[in-house]
Chains A and B, each alone.
Chain A
Amino acid sequence: MSKKILPLVLGAAMGVAATTAASATTLEDVKAKGFIQCGVSQGLPGFSNPDAQGNWTGLDVDLCRAMAAAVFGDASAVKFTPLSAKERFTALQSGEVDVLSRNTTWTMSRDTQLGLNFAGVNYYDGQGFMVRKDLGVTSALELSGASVCTNTGTTTELNVADYFRANNMPYEIVAFEKADEVVAAYDAGRCDVYTTDASGLYAQRLKLTNPGDHMVLSEIISKEPLGPVVRQGDDEWFNIAKWTLNAMINAEELGVSSANVDDMKSSDNPSVKRLLGVEGAYGEGIGLSNDWAYNVVKNVGNYEESFNANVGPDTPLGISRGVNALWSDGGFLYAPPVR
């Protein structure tokens, strides 16, 4: 009897030990399971938001779909995990998600101390304030003594503390775990001010009882470069995330869109040829096929298409390109060339 049990016990113990040793790269894992697990928000219109059928749409969602298109040639090979601001890094660190595309601000401590890497910036944001119009406030500097609603575990919470302290204004912070509860509490009148990234304010304003009664103040009190995040130490996957984003931006710059991408394959422009894999073998360098960027643009579109479809002037959010325009149009978007 004991002769049979002992090997079993030891075997089980060895099994635990074995899990330490071998861990495949993220790309291998993703290819093996056939989809990308993407961490998104719990519902932020324009960035990552599920519709009534449970289909996710948004700028951040498009990035995950673009990565799926780059890896599998199929933008639907992606599953979404809604994460609160508090859970997001742990979920990525523990491998629960393969990429975090959840309006996450790139900061030094997050980049260097959490074992994570930011793969770029897909939206340049800044923190703003929303107030009721009937308060008669025109500047954030008039908010002395206000109670402020926000999310816990965000840079927002720190920025607002810095701002009020720097301007010597007393304030009261009411910090919720979920964005929906922040909106509900602000809507109920618990707070005078709702603060988060300006894009988020425009998005959440749509959820209020009377969106027209509220205004976003013009002050932007912080830099919030939002972008996709991957685990540190897996450069191959890091490159895929980074270059998927770059491909979308380069495609816009080169005038390649989902509508004309097939025609553009026969373009004379060498930059376009390299991007779409007609010339050179740039896909191999990131462990993918050479038509990776073609698949991204064909299935998801370039940055402009994604922006206009999700947050642009024709959507309920109505955000103009502003600093998120291409560098050639006076914005910040500037992707390294494919060559």
Chain B
Amino acid sequence: MSVMEQDSARAPARASLFNDPKVRGIFFQVVLVVALGYVGYNIVDNTRINLEQQNIASGWGFLNNTAGFGIIQSLVSYSETSSYGQALYVGFLNTLLVAIVGIFVATIIGFVVGIARLSDNWVISRLAYCYVELIRNVPLLLQIFFWYFAVLRAVPGKREKWSFFFDSFHLNIAGFRGPKPIWEDGASFIGIALIIAIVACIVIAQWARKRQEATGQQFPVFWTAVGLIIGLPLITYFVTGMPMHLEHPVFVDTGPRIRQGFQLNVGFNLIPEFLALTAALSIYTASFIAEIVRAGIQAVSHGQTEAAHALGLRQSPTLRLVIIPQAMRVIIPPLTSQYLNLTKNSSLAVAIAFPDLVSVGGTVLNQTGQAIEIIGIWMAIYLTLSLVTSAFMNWYNQRMALVER
């Protein structure tokens, strides 16, 4: 009681509110937020007023206008009469395609090279070392140009070709061509069969793991899965009366020279711009991934390997069951950054005419003059892609985290 009285009596006697660290802290934070808000408001307001003064139209209406330009590769239906919105969607899907294929290939190359770098075989480890040092020290744009312009000159011209696999795949300067599956009525059953096979694999894998934990008996999950995923759709294919045929690319070598070569839109074609971009992106990113993988593996103490060997595990299962699972904890966070880098680097596509989001968006920007809107769309899409990738990798990281029992 008396203590409290003393306190309340002393409080006003202390320095003014101005010198109270708590009050001062809050005061400065409020000032900062207000100042930032004011600056932000001014930037937005400035832009709006300037646009109005310069008589530049703004808004999202342009997305419905007719685009009028062609795009060499689109995953969805697109023609010159489609809208700007559709054109941007095509560009977005192309970016997504490059990112997914690039991440997939880069991961495989990166893991192989990273493990090769630690190989006891001197030649293999030196080769992997050279690969990493050579690739990661050359700017990506130069590598893209290399793949596009140097490799482009090495392959046959439009009116010649190299063929592989019993004349069903072809390569020339206009791209890599192969047969395209054309689905007919009843083909949806094959898709359903595939889904059933995948679900069955997951169920079997879980059952096999439980059984192994309970009884120690192993089950050949991998080969069963391969059999199911290939076999079930194949059986369905024959049962439903083969509702699919292959459309082979058509190569003409007679008649007027301009008509010779592969015919447009027949068969399946990977355009050289896509090949060059994906190759450059995956090979470049793989050199970083290789180093991450090497670091991750080296972070696992050597005692783990020795312990596994002592238990009688051979080299391959040691790596697969003991080392890699522990290394993954170290590998995944920097790996995520590399995936994000690859996705964002794909915007360099514009240099070699691959119609990605930036390339198509740039054309739309030039035709419509809607700079702020287009740049907003670009930023929003790349941000979303990156956040989704991060979210997925964080989830995966949590799953891989060491669970102590």
From A109, A145, A233, name the one whose CB has the most chain B CB atoms within 10 angstroms. A145
Task: Kindly state whether residue A16 has any CB partner on chain B within 8 Å.
Answer: yes
> When the two chains form their complex, are residues A173 and B70 in contact, meaning their CB atoms are under 8 A apart?
yes
Q: Which of B50, B51, B258 contacts A137 (CB 8 A)?
A: B258
> When the two chains form their complex, are residues A171 and B70 in contact, meaning their CB atoms are under 8 A apart?
yes
In the complex, A145 Cα to B259 Cα: how many Å? 7
In the complex, A152 Cα to B367 Cα: how many Å? 10
Task: Kindly state whether residue B307 has any CB partner on chain A within 8 Å.
Answer: no
> When the two chains form their complex, are residues A188 and B39 in contact, meaning their CB atoms are under 8 A apart?
no
In the complex, A293 Cα to B353 Cα: how many Å? 44
> When the two chains form their complex, are residues B258 and A174 in contact, meaning their CB atoms are under 8 A apart?
no
CB neighbours (8 Å) of B27 from chain A are 2
Task: Kindly state whether residue B149 has any CB partner on chain A within 8 Å.
Answer: yes
From B42, B69, B149, B152, name the one whose CB has the most chain A CB atoms within 10 angstroms. B69
The minimal Cβ–Cβ distance linking B372 to chain A, given in whole angstroms, is: 10
In the complex, A168 Cα to B362 Cα: how many Å? 27
Task: Kindly state whether residue B371 has any CB partner on chain A within 8 Å.
Answer: yes
A145-B258, A158-B69 known; A176-B80 Cβ under 8 A: no
> When the two chains form their complex, are residues A158 and B264 in contact, meaning their CB atoms are under 8 A apart?
no
Task: Kindly state whether residue A236 has any CB partner on chain B within 8 Å.
Answer: no
Q: Which of A9, A137, A157 contacts B69 (CB 8 A)?
A: A157
CB neighbours (8 Å) of A145 from chain B are 258-259, 263-264
CB neighbours (8 Å) of B31 from chain A are 2, 5-6, 9
> When the two chains form their complex, are residues B368 and A190 in contact, meaning their CB atoms are under 8 A apart?
no
CB neighbours (8 Å) of B126 from chain A are none
> When the two chains form their complex, are residues B56 and A173 in contact, meaning their CB atoms are under 8 A apart?
no
> When the two chains form their complex, are residues A189 and B359 in contact, meaning their CB atoms are under 8 A apart?
no
In the complex, A153 Cα to B363 Cα: how many Å? 4
> When the two chains form their complex, are residues A13 and B46 in contact, meaning their CB atoms are under 8 A apart?
no
The minimal Cβ–Cβ distance linking B28 to chain A, given in whole angstroms, is: 7
Task: Kindly state whether residue A135 has any CB partner on chain B within 8 Å.
Answer: yes
Task: Kindly state whether residue B309 has any CB partner on chain A within 8 Å.
Answer: no
A16-B42, A135-B258, A145-B264 known; A90-B371 Cβ under 8 A: yes
Task: Kindly state whether residue B243 has any CB partner on chain A within 8 Å.
Answer: no
> When the two chains form their complex, are residues B54 and A93 in contact, meaning their CB atoms are under 8 A apart?
yes
- The contact string, 1 if C-beta is below 8 Å from chain B, for chain A 122-148, is 000000000100111100001111110
> When the two chains form their complex, are residues A190 and B35 in contact, meaning their CB atoms are under 8 A apart?
no
From B46, B157, B355, B367, name the one whose CB has the most chain A CB atoms within 10 angstroms. B367
Q: How many residues on chain A are close to B (CB under 8 Å)?
A: 62
> When the two chains form their complex, are residues B70 and A142 in contact, meaning their CB atoms are under 8 A apart?
no
Task: Kindly state whether residue A304 has any CB partner on chain B within 8 Å.
Answer: no
Task: Kindly state whether residue A207 has any CB partner on chain B within 8 Å.
Answer: no
Q: Which of A136, A184, A189 contacts B157 (CB 8 A)?
A: A189
Task: List which A94-146 residues lie within 8 A (CB) of chain B.
Answer: 109-110, 113-115, 131, 134-137, 142-146
Task: Kindly state whether residue A185 has any CB partner on chain B within 8 Å.
Answer: yes
Task: List which A148-183 residues lie within 8 A (CB) of chain B.
Answer: 149, 152-154, 157-158, 160-162, 164-165, 170-178, 181
In the complex, A239 Cα to B399 Cα: how many Å? 69
CB neighbours (8 Å) of B18 from chain A are 2
CB neighbours (8 Å) of A205 from chain B are none
> When the two chains form their complex, are residues A231 and B54 in contact, meaning their CB atoms are under 8 A apart?
yes
Task: Kindly state whether residue A17 has any CB partner on chain B within 8 Å.
Answer: yes
CB neighbours (8 Å) of B235 from chain A are none
In the complex, A80 Cα to B256 Cα: how many Å? 46
Task: Kindly state whether residue B53 has any CB partner on chain A within 8 Å.
Answer: yes
> When the two chains form their complex, are residues B173 and A13 in contact, meaning their CB atoms are under 8 A apart?
no
CB neighbours (8 Å) of B173 from chain A are 188-190
In the complex, A171 Cα to B45 Cα: how many Å? 45
CB neighbours (8 Å) of A147 from chain B are 158, 174
In the complex, A64 Cα to B231 Cα: how many Å? 71
In the complex, A86 Cα to B359 Cα: how many Å? 10
Task: Kindly state whether residue A19 has any CB partner on chain B within 8 Å.
Answer: yes
Task: Kindly state whether residue A269 has any CB partner on chain B within 8 Å.
Answer: no
Q: Which of B56, B273, B365 contacts A174 (CB 8 A)?
A: B273
> When the two chains form their complex, are residues B352 and A176 in contact, meaning their CB atoms are under 8 A apart?
yes
> When the two chains form their complex, are residues B359 and A175 in contact, meaning their CB atoms are under 8 A apart?
yes
Task: Kindly state whether residue B71 has any CB partner on chain A within 8 Å.
Answer: yes
Task: Kindly state whether residue A85 has any CB partner on chain B within 8 Å.
Answer: yes
In the complex, A12 Cα to B54 Cα: how many Å? 26
> When the two chains form their complex, are residues A177 and B362 in contact, meaning their CB atoms are under 8 A apart?
yes
Task: Kindly state whether residue B68 has any CB partner on chain A within 8 Å.
Answer: yes
A86-B366, A89-B369 known; A13-B39 Cβ under 8 A: yes
Task: Kindly state whether residue B393 has any CB partner on chain A within 8 Å.
Answer: no
In the complex, A164 Cα to B80 Cα: how many Å? 10
Task: Kindly state whether residue A42 has any CB partner on chain B within 8 Å.
Answer: no
> When the two chains form their complex, are residues B152 and A188 in contact, meaning their CB atoms are under 8 A apart?
yes
Task: Kindly state whether residue A232 has any CB partner on chain B within 8 Å.
Answer: yes
CB neighbours (8 Å) of B257 from chain A are 134-136
> When the two chains form their complex, are residues A161 and B80 in contact, meaning their CB atoms are under 8 A apart?
yes
A13-B38, A175-B355 known; A189-B158 Cβ under 8 A: yes
In the complex, A143 Cα to B174 Cα: how many Å? 16
A144-B259, A170-B265, A188-B153 known; A158-B367 Cβ under 8 A: yes
A/B interface sample: 30 pairs, CB < 8 A: A2-B18, A13-B38, A16-B39, A16-B42, A17-B42, A20-B45, A86-B362, A86-B366, A93-B371, A115-B55, A115-B56, A115-B369, A137-B258, A142-B256, A145-B259, A145-B263, A147-B158, A153-B367, A158-B69, A161-B68, A170-B264, A172-B70, A173-B72, A176-B352, A177-B359, A178-B351, A181-B352, A189-B158, A190-B272, A232-B55
Top 6 A-B pairs ranked by shortest CB distance? A153-B366, A115-B54, A115-B56, A114-B369, A173-B70, A161-B80
Given A5-B31, A177-B359, A188-B152, output 4 extra A-B contacts at Cβ < 8 Å.
A93-B56, A142-B258, A144-B258, A172-B70
